[in-house]
Amino acid sequence: MRCAGCFTPHDAFQNPAYGSLRSADDLTPRPPRQSQNRGLRAGFRTRREAPVLVPSTACRQFKIVEALSEAKRNCKPVLWGLGGHVIKCGLAPVLIDLMHRGFATSFSMNGSAAIHDYEIALCGSTSEDVESVLPDGRFGSAEETGREMNGAIRPGSGLGEAYCASLQSAPFAQHSLLAQASVPVTVHVAIGTDTPHTHPAVNPAALGAATHHDFRVFCTLVSQMNEGGVYLNIGSAVIMPEVFLKAISAVRNLGHPLANFTTANFDFLQHYRPRLNVVERPHAQSGGKGYSITGHHEIMIPLLAAALREGET
């Protein structure tokens, strides 16, 4: 039986190459006077009314819901790229539910997201008070996290597959995205960015090989986005936007068609790399649409999930 999170990269990705005044009456009001905030009322429906509370440029970005629903109807992939705070603030159960409903066909994480999810599976909680433990060097020195995550890596497996397999019997596995995943999971790390890299059990060669395996898997997943797929970058400011852009280039370099897909960046601040590498550059001369959606993950992701669920009724 294939392990949760297991996925084999397509053969092609084994080695990817690579000044006048006017009257105010002449101005177009923003928002238009007829569409000021209507407020909430009984029977409020997330999917129908949330995007038009104030139908401004920002609210129109929530049209990502339509793209996600269409992708599901047409059996197109919906790829989720995750940063650490998404898991840290407790959204794994929301993501698991979206996966079961067909709104997530893969998850790709940076190292931080994997660490937080792994710790939740092992002990039911995650994170630490960095300011109190950094001065004496105790930050990131949890024995169990480093030992278990480094020990989970196996030759020939990606990081995502290895982590998923190692958590199947974890005490709090029901709360873990890694443990509950029934779709491909990839983990993308940069050596030195994550606390397990300072643990005595770290094997840099094995870590590098495993995350490179996952990059090839990710290229395969991205290659399937042509004509209707969706990529969501949730809370990763650097790693996942860079990995996504390189995967797009590798896919096209190898001759695979990749156009007319949808991307979105969700974060509480809009940063340079996600805006360029996720929302704008992938669509150059290729069609499709990119969206920037600003807000706290613990508000925006459940709101997105509610809109998608309502669309099923």
pLDDT digit string, tens, across residues 237-271: 999 999 999 999 999 999 999 999 999 999 988 99
The reply to whether 100 falls in a domain is: yes
Confidence of residue 44 (pLDDT cuts 50, 70, 90): low
Average pLDDT for residues 55-63, to the nearest whole number?
56
Position 10 pLDDT exceeds 80: no
pTM: 0.84
CATH of the domain at 267: 3.40.910.10
CA terminus-to-terminus distance, the chain: 34
pLDDT tens profile 162-175? 999 999 999 999 99
89 lies in some domain: yes
Most distant CA pair in the chain, distance: 72
Sorted by sequence, the CB contacts under 8 Å of residue 58 that are 6+ apart come out as 294
Rounded distance between C-alpha atoms, residue 180 and residue 292, angstroms: 29
Q: Is the pLDDT of residue 18 over 90?
A: no
What are the structure tokens assigned to 142, written together? Answer: 């949890």
5 occurs within a structural domain: no
Q: What is the DSSP string of 131-155?
A: HHHTTTT-TT--HHHHHHHHHT--T
Flag the least confident range among 1-15, 69-83, 167-181.
1-15
Q: Rounded distance, CA 112 to CA 289, Å?
A: 28
Which candidate, 81, 67, 93, places its Cα nearest to that of 221?
81
Residue 114 lies in a domain: yes
50/72 Cα distance (integer angstroms): 21
Locate 93 and state its tokens: 């159960």
Query: Within a domain: residue 177?
Result: yes
Residue 212 lies in a domain: yes
- Predicted pLDDT at 20: 46
Residue 33 lies inside a defined structural domain of this protein: no
Q: Structural domain of residue 205, as residue ranges?
A: 57-310
Q: Residue 143 pLDDT more than 90?
A: no
Q: Is residue 21 part of a domain?
A: no
Residue 61: predicted pLDDT: 57
Of 5-19, 62-76, 180-194, 254-268, which gets the smallest average pLDDT? 5-19
Is the confidence at residue 25, as pLDDT, over 70? no
Return the number of other C-beta atoms located less than 10 Å from residue 275's C-beta: 16
Alpha-carbon distance 46 to 48, whole Å?
6
pLDDT at 8 over 60: yes
Give the model's pLDDT for residue 142.
80
Number of domains in the chain: 1
Amino acid at 25: D
Distance between CA atoms of 13 and 222, rounded to whole angstroms? 11
Query: Which pLDDT belongs to residue 5?
Result: 57
Asked if 142 and 136 touch (Cβ cutoff 8 Å), the reply is no
Residue type, 181: A
Integer Cα distance of 303 and 299 in angstroms: 6
